[in-house]
Amino acid sequence: MSDLKRGLSSADFRYVDLRNAALIGVDLSGASLLGSRLDEADLEDADLTQADLVGAELDGAHLSGADLTGTVFCSEEPPADSGTGSHERFCAEMSHMIMTGVNLAEADLAGANLARTYFCPDPDSSLIPSGKKNKCTNLVGVVLNSANLKEAYLSRVSLRGADLRGADLRGADLTGANLRGADLTDADLSGADLEDADLRETDRTGADFTNADLTGVKVDGAGFEGGESKRARGLSQSS
């Protein structure tokens, strides 16, 4: 992999197997990584601006500090050479990733699988080696409708104005997260930890907070209404 240390701007890596590759700081701007295997790859500080990652396998990859400006993760339909006959939205597979300290503001990740991904360093986790970026990822205005964020680590992350309609946030850690103005319509937050999260100006129509921890959440006016917080925990401290 020593050759990969050089700049690979606009390189064609479609469907290439790059599992466990050391790509730290590599220039992959504008590269086509469509359908590539990047499981467990280390892309810390890599330049992925305008890169095509549609359909790529990124399970367990490290993208801490990577430049993801204009990176394409999803397309409305699979590419013609993808080998799938589906006409559904086609995204990169991004579960169990370490994605701290990157800017994903207003990125389109609708329908993406980001289950158990770390968007902010967890001081109690051994999954993030020392030296990885110690800042939270910027998710302001990100489009995550129908995304799988089950058990994702989003503590202290800013999701201000994010589109989380129909998102699966079951068991997610959202402690201290800024969700102000986010659209949580029909989102599943059952079992999520929302302690001290900011939920002001959010649309929570149809959202499921069953067994969620709502201790200290910031909400507008009288707070939760009707049955939206039925079986949730901690509301006595948050109102």
Q: What is the pLDDT of residue 123?
A: 74
Q: What is the pLDDT of residue 148?
A: 97
Question: pLDDT value at position 237?
Answer: 41
Three-state secondary structure string covering the chain: CHHHHCCCCCCECCCCECCCCECCCCECCCCECCCCECCCCECCCCECCCCECCCCECCCCECCCCECCCCECEECCCCCCCCCCCCCCEECECCCCECCCCECCCCECCCCECCCCECCCCCCCCCCCCCCCCCCCECCCCECCCCECCCCECCCCECCCCECCCCECCCCECCCCECCCCECCCCECCCCECCCCECCCCECCCCECCCCECCCCECCCCCCCCCCCCCCECHHHHC
What averages of pLDDT result for each successive group of 10 residues across the chain (239 residues)? 65 96 95 96 95 95 94 80 59 94 93 95 68 79 96 97 98 98 97 97 95 94 60 60
pTM strictly above 0.85:
yes
